[in-house]
Structure 1
């Protein structure tokens, strides 16, 4: 199923995150732990998240060791100080951000990424920053992967 793709304007988004690298087979496990660690920090600091958890893949490919580098956490209303592994981050957003909602399991996200890339090429747009996955579904609450919803954002120029 081809996702609906649109362009939105989005400003920068402050967040509390943890940066990590892992083989693609371990990313899901890592991300789950990281969300818990970042949420614990936010709760102890009295800072509520202002949106769903997300992951940014700055390079969108594995490094020479086969690891994917990623940044996972939660958007917040104001910059955080961080502690230890949790650090402040700002996803850049932009005047144009291409947005599509993927419905289905995470291992099928590539189809939506490819649809976004094709759509951008057809509309003479280029990527202008790292893509972001925002997870609207919690697999612990929604055990059926065919129902999971993930919004993909790509700053464009």
Structure 2
């Protein structure tokens, strides 16, 4: 059982951080011109900034839900998406990206802790497990990372295949 548990945790960490079959969030944001952070392509409802901030909020919410029984999640969907298309400043952008990295690292610490049960329902939830929350982060990040890449392609700011 221990080796299976260890392998499962490794696969989950790889899913969240490695990209595996897709680009990572770091890849998608690398060398993004600051002038394009708030650009909203025709026909799309959001900018790269809004996607990055949404990713930050969701990771934070999942982390807090996982570790704090008193955590109150933001109101869906209003409080999960920023209203403004662009960050107020480069500092706000940098803070969002740093927070994504910090909260992801903290979640991975919990995930990698052999005393954290992957399969036991979390105390606050209605059946959610650490395994489910890890899969949710990986799936959510992959989905929105792909959207960031599509926006970059539409804006002409993605590497050619």
Q: What TM-score do the two structures reach when normalised by structure 1?
A: 0.25
Indicate the structure with greater helix content.
2
Q: Decide which structure has the larger Cα Rg and report it.
A: 2
Hey, which of these two has a bigger chunk of strand by percent?
1
* TM-score, structure 2 as length reference: 0.24
